Amino acid sequence: MTKSVHQLKITLRGVRPPVWRRIVVDSAVTLSDLAPKMEAAMGWLGSHLHAFEADGESYAMPNPEWLGDSHDETKFRLEQVLPSEGSKMQWDYDFGDGWEHDVIVEEIGPPEPDVTYPVCVKGRRAGPPEDCGGPRGYSELLEVIGNPDLDDPMELREWAPDFDPEYFDPEEATEAMRSARHFDLW
């Protein structure tokens, strides 16, 4: 049973206009279970490695070859890592593309009686397509999509033909978060 919930604002770094989500999750969720929910909210597919950093401590997926100095994310709950309103962490996704997210705790409180968690309550703009080359590649994609008269030597319009950078639906994000599962990348 959910005793408390964290309202988090997740903002993607290095992109303009801003892409962000406001989600509410069970405070007792482990970081390893939080990651796929955040991936789903942002529109990521969850097919890449990720890591968290808060107060100088790193948390990562449990792989002895990769963990290094990081803590095993399966052993830490959100309420431990971000214990109070205003607490912050960085969440990195897809180390090749280098997507960095700022995560801040906006509120901590009791769950609402008729709400099923997790839930995405608000957001802005579609998350970038997977494997588009990080912030720089995404900027190039937006430029090509936004100006049909521009040359498109990399065929970005064909690569992402249905991508609408303005589209975001919190109900769709909520549904994706609720069905999100952790993938074993090893």
Percent of the chain with pLDDT over 90: 70
Predicted structure pTM score: 0.92
User: What is the pLDDT confidence band of residue 186, given thresholds at 50, 70 and 90?
Assistant: very low
* Amino acid found at 183: F
- Helices vs strands, H then E, count in the chain: 5, 8
Is 70 domain-assigned?
A: yes
Task: For residue 160, tell me if it sits in a domain.
Answer: no
Domain range for 28 is 5-127+166-179
**Residue 156: inside a domain:** no
How many Å apart are CA 54 and CA 104, to the nearest integer? 10
Pair type for strands 20-26 and 50-54:
unpaired
Average pLDDT over residues 67-95: 92
The verdict on residue 150 lying in a domain is no
Listing DSSP states for 71-134 in one string gives: EEGGG-BHHHHS-STT-EEEEEE-TTTTEEEEEEEEEEEPPPTT--SSEEEEEESPPPPTTS-H
> Domain for residue 149, yes or no?
no
> What are the pLDDT digits (tens) for 25-79?
999 999 999 999 999 999 998 889 899 999 999 999 877 666 567 889 999 999 9
Average pLDDT, the chain: 91
Burial class (CB in 10 A: 0-12, 13-18, 19+), 90: middle
Residue at 22 is within a domain = yes
CATH number reported for the structural domain that contains residue 16 in this entry: 3.10.290.30
In a domain, 35, yes or no: yes
